[in-house]
A and B are shown apart, each in its own frame.
Chain A
Amino acid sequence: MQTLLEMRNITKTFPGVKALDAVNLKVAEGEIHALVGENGAGKSTLMKVLSGVYPKGTYDGEIHYDGQLAGFSGISDSEKLGIIIIHQELALVPLLSIAENLFVGNECATAGVVNWHETFRRTEDLLKKVGLKEAPAAQVDSLGVGKQQLVEIAKALSKDVRLLILDEPTAALSESDSQALLDLLLELKAQGVTSIVISHKLNEVRRIADTITVIRDGATVSTLDARKEPITEDRIVRDMVGRDMSQRYPERPRRAGDMLLEVRNWNAWHPDHAARQVIENIDFHVRAGEVVGIAGLMGAGRTELAMSLFGKSYGRNISGQVELRGKAIDTSTVASAIRSGLAYVTEDRKELGLILEESIQRNVTLANLADVSKSGVINEAEETKVAERYRAAMNIRTPSVFQKVMNLSGGNQQKVVLSKWLFAGPEVLILDEPTRGIDVGAKFEIYGIINELSAQGKGVLMISSEMPELLGMCDRIYVMNQGSFVGELSTDEASQERIMSLIVTE
């Protein structure tokens, strides 16, 4: 079979990080090629190199396409040769019709005047090809996610696609929509379209893929030919997670004290799509001194769970019971959740955690101004004392606590967020990706702080996409997938393979 695409020794570095390290990928004409790997393994980066989002010259290595050395300086370059990428977040304009979306930027027009007759005729053809029975004039936001995905594929077909790249195409789809999409991919293959599919769902990968390439830590681990012999999910999982536990975690005596936080029957629905249940019947508990992890892929609903618990900051029609030390507590607003003893360190510290324009001092006291003020008047001297105390305790590296937070490094910003929540005096801290985007040294310090909290008898609920981190830090790990908990593992029984297999076998 002829090779359509070959990427050789692709290396891409971002400041301080090697995202791709001599990756090789070979895709034969007319096949479906699956690209699998953990979050952050480098799959999306590789596809961005291919499609020209990272233009020629910003990476090392060679791309051969259709027998020729290629290199794109933008998406329009790669699209000209029939390489079309469909991203995880759909790129449709919700308030325009299907027809308008299909031809946006590529309108059937002469001298700038759109030929609507031609547009609608071609739209009908394309919709027939992808099996979507909708009027070309239907507005895109009136369609479900599954149908929107089909519109994206129709759009790719309108551009004479030769190589179709899909990033997690079924992540947001229901079971039946997923099946329909996979069938469509097989049909396109029969018509000669080559596809690269990035997916976490190994059962789907096994169903459609001819070849599977596994990427781990920015390098190609293996390329498996599924046509010769069936490949087991275990085999893929082993390749996906098989790294050494090279990161170190500070030691902590394991202890689980009295029952602290108990959540039962927790349910929440999507804020915009009332029919979509985002959190389904979740029960969990955290004991005093315990560090409990929640593992899962992006989009599993972990952040949504945390935010719905913390003052109903996410979702609608939230229901369920929350108890602290056996007593029901009020978490209906953020203020009451804080008063009840909860704290939530957000995943996105710049957007949701900090006031970047303000000083370290003002950020640290923000969630608990009552303790530095008297009848509403702030005692700034007291406030400075508090900020200095946390600067020393957390080892925040800064010339002064009056420094604006935006001038700090990621690790120090995270310490400011942690200081803010510790000063609020919580009993249970929910940490959402507490070490995302910070360097190894600062990570180690954050782990130390978490252990210190545990030693003080506080409960810690830790959401993380880095499995080694969960395995190294937690006493227990809940595994979450598609809005519900699909398993619970103690540290002794937990391994990356077991967690992965709980996630991928639905």
Chain B
Amino acid sequence: MTDTASQARNADKAKSISGYLASHLRDYGLLFALIAIMVFFQIVTDGTLLRPVNITNLFLQNSYIIIMALGMLIVIVGGNIDLSVGSVMGFVGALAAVMIVNWNVPVALTIPACLVVGILIGAAQGYWVAYWKIPSFIVTLAGMLVFRGLSLWLLEGQSVGPFPKSFQLLSTGFIPDVFGVGRPNVTALAVGIVAAGAIVWMGLRKRARNKAYGIEDEPTAFFLIRNAIVAGALLFVMYKLSTFRGLPNVLVTMGILTIIYAFLTEQTTIGRRIYALGGNEKAAKLSGIPTERLTFLTFVNMGMLAALAGLIFAARLNTATPKAGFAVELDVIAAVFIGGASMSGGVGKIVGAVVGAFIMGVMNNGMSIMGIGIDYQQVIKGLVLLAAVIFDVYNKQKQG
């Protein structure tokens, strides 16, 4: 009697664990995909991938993609798309170069001016999408051509550079070691420990609150493993960075922006409303949500982040070229979809987009180290994008 009861209970427990896994497969899948890809390239590149210098490079190479993926995720969650970000990024980089190198405008003035230009570009495109209901695909396709052309015109077809040191710091600078040790860089280590601690602490706090409200929570084993992996990976990366030159400035910018946007999308009313807008625009409108204004703001924000990405990209290359940002929008959009966002809007997470961007970045980097030609690289990246989306759709059909 008690035997069958306990058997039933065990069966229930097993069912709830497998049910939990099924409904969160996407989240775990993404994390494990990133780990599997890193392990794979670590092996086939004979350990080059995770050398301190290469990890630093990974961040520098992908920072502008990740920064734009933050904005793109919000645009896509809102039910739109922005194809112009690569061109806008190139245009703002060109503008910065012309201002600093040709017109001798101070760096401290150029950076805010360029961000304002990005905001205005976003506003100009968002206006047509939000208030005139012109499909974002068309508006931003036009924007893509317009700003590609304008950067060519601005640079007169030439590369402009180099930049003064103070501008380059935006991208290639490192946070100095406040503890004065230098190598290993104690600041990087300290930041790593604090961040890992914060992640675990916040996870525990959320778990405790969920328990208090009787919310279905992640099984304890999953929680422990997931946090161990995330915190461990963070500490590992920080340790590696500390043995090279420490924390790159862009990593700090990227980290802070990721935290801000994750908070904005998950904890604030404006974030909630963007999800509602993308999920069902008519219902959102009839619930008193100013859908037009929100759509407009998602593009303004995207414009600003594309401008920031443009500055960082130009600073890294130390020159602005007419080809800068070419086809980058595709990498950004791919990162967001690999990260689990839905084309129809209303679904997607900031963390997912960032992990998606890292998956793309590690693949680019790993394949380059292996010496795989750009031709095969494109084919493989395309197939990975398709596989990720098929995985999503398959999962959804199985559940529904």
Task: Identify 28 residue pairs between A and B in the complex whose beta-carbon atoms are under 8 Å apart, listed by A's number.
Answer: A311-B288, A313-B286, A334-B288, A334-B289, A335-B290, A351-B282, A351-B283, A352-B282, A352-B286, A354-B280, A355-B280, A355-B283, A357-B346, A358-B276, A362-B272, A366-B272, A366-B287, A367-B288, A369-B273, A370-B269, A373-B268, A376-B268, A376-B269, A376-B270, A377-B268, A378-B272, A381-B213, A384-B213
Bound Cα distance A370, B272 (Å): 12
In the complex, what residues of B have CB within 8 A of residue A367's CB? 287-288
- Which chain B residue shows the least CB distance to A401? B215
Shortest CB distance B372–A (Å): 38
In the complex, what residues of A have CB within 8 A of residue B288's CB? 311, 333-335, 337-338, 367, 424
Q: Is the CB of B284 within 8 A of A378?
A: no
Question: Within residues 268 to 315 of chain B, which ones have a CB less than 8 A from any CB in chain A?
Answer: 268-270, 272-273, 275-276, 279-280, 282-290
In the complex, what residues of B have CB within 8 A of residue A355's CB? 275-276, 279-280, 283-284, 346
In the complex, what residues of B have CB within 8 A of residue A334's CB? 285-289
Bound Cα distance A380, B269 (Å): 11
Bound Cα distance A355, B276 (Å): 6
Task: Give the top 4 A-B pairs by smallest Cβ distance, nearest first.
Answer: A355-B279, A335-B288, A367-B287, A369-B269
Q: A355-B346, A369-B273, A378-B272 are in contact. Are A400 and B282 (CB under 8 A)?
A: no
- Which chain A residue shows the least CB distance to B275? A358
Check if B347 is an interface residue, CB within 8 A of chain A. yes
Extra pairs beyond A356-B280, A378-B267, A378-B269 (8, CB < 8 Å): A334-B287, A352-B286, A355-B275, A366-B284, A373-B269, A376-B270, A381-B213, A384-B213
Bound Cα distance A344, B289 (Å): 14
Check if A420 is an interface residue, CB within 8 A of chain B. yes
Check if B216 is an interface residue, CB within 8 A of chain A. yes
Interface size on B, residues (CB 8 A): 26
- Which chain B residue shows the least CB distance to A354? B283
Check if B9 is an interface residue, CB within 8 A of chain A. no
Question: Within residues 334 to 360 of chain B, which ones have a CB less than 8 A from any CB in chain A?
Answer: 346-347
- Which chain B residue shows the least CB distance to A355? B279
In the complex, what residues of B have CB within 8 A of residue A388's CB? 213
Q: Is the CB of A378 within 8 A of B268?
A: yes
Interface residues on A, range: 35 or more
In the complex, what residues of B have CB within 8 A of residue A370's CB? 269
Bound Cα distance A60, B347 (Å): 44
- The interface bits of chain B over 177-199 (1 if a CB of A lies within 8 angstroms of the residue's CB, else 0) are 00000000000000000000000
Bound Cα distance A351, B286 (Å): 11
In the complex, what residues of A have CB within 8 A of residue B284's CB? 355, 366
Q: A420 contacts which of B209, B272, B287 (Cβ < 8 Å)?
A: B287
> Interface of B with A (CB < 8 Å)?
209, 213-216, 267-270, 272-273, 275-276, 279-280, 282-290, 346-347
Q: Is the CB of B279 within 8 A of A358?
A: yes
Bound Cα distance A464, B267 (Å): 39
In the complex, what residues of B have CB within 8 A of residue A380's CB? 267
- Which chain A residue shows the least CB distance to B291? A334
Shortest CB distance B297–A (Å): 13
Among B269, B276, B282, B283, the most chain A Cβ lie within 10 Å of the Cβ of B283
- Which chain B residue shows the least CB distance to A338? B288
Q: B267 contacts which of A333, A337, A377, A384 (Cβ < 8 Å)?
A: A377
Check if A269 is an interface residue, CB within 8 A of chain B. no
Check if A310 is an interface residue, CB within 8 A of chain B. yes
- Which chain A residue shows the least CB distance to B209? A381
Check if A116 is an interface residue, CB within 8 A of chain B. no
Question: Within residues 352 to 404 of chain A, which ones have a CB less than 8 A from any CB in chain B?
Answer: 352-358, 362, 366-367, 369-370, 373, 376-378, 380-381, 384-385, 388, 400, 402
Bound Cα distance A373, B285 (Å): 20
Q: Is the CB of A400 within 8 A of B215?
A: yes
Check if A484 is an interface residue, CB within 8 A of chain B. no
Check if A24 is an interface residue, CB within 8 A of chain B. no
In the complex, what residues of A have CB within 8 A of residue B287's CB? 334, 366-367, 420
In the complex, what residues of B have CB within 8 A of residue A481's CB? none
In the complex, what residues of A have CB within 8 A of residue B215's CB? 384, 400, 402
- The interface bits of chain A over 313-326 (1 if a CB of B lies within 8 angstroms of the residue's CB, else 0) are 10000000000000
In the complex, what residues of A have CB within 8 A of residue B285's CB? 313, 334
Bound Cα distance A77, B202 (Å): 65
Among B213, B267, B288, the most chain A Cβ lie within 10 Å of the Cβ of B288
Bound Cα distance A346, B282 (Å): 11
Shortest CB distance B42–A (Å): 37
- Which chain A residue shows the least CB distance to B400? A406
Bound Cα distance A337, B289 (Å): 12
In the complex, what residues of A have CB within 8 A of residue B216's CB? 400, 402
In the complex, what residues of B have CB within 8 A of residue A381's CB? 209, 213
In the complex, what residues of A have CB within 8 A of residue B282's CB? 351-352
Bound Cα distance A181, B97 (Å): 72
Bound Cα distance A362, B285 (Å): 15
Bound Cα distance A373, B269 (Å): 7
Bound Cα distance A313, B267 (Å): 29
Bound Cα distance A333, B209 (Å): 37
Shortest CB distance A311–B (Å): 7
- Which chain B residue shows the least CB distance to A344? B286
Shortest CB distance A33–B (Å): 40
In the complex, what residues of A have CB within 8 A of residue B272's CB? 362, 366, 369, 378
Shortest CB distance B263–A (Å): 8
Shortest CB distance B294–A (Å): 12
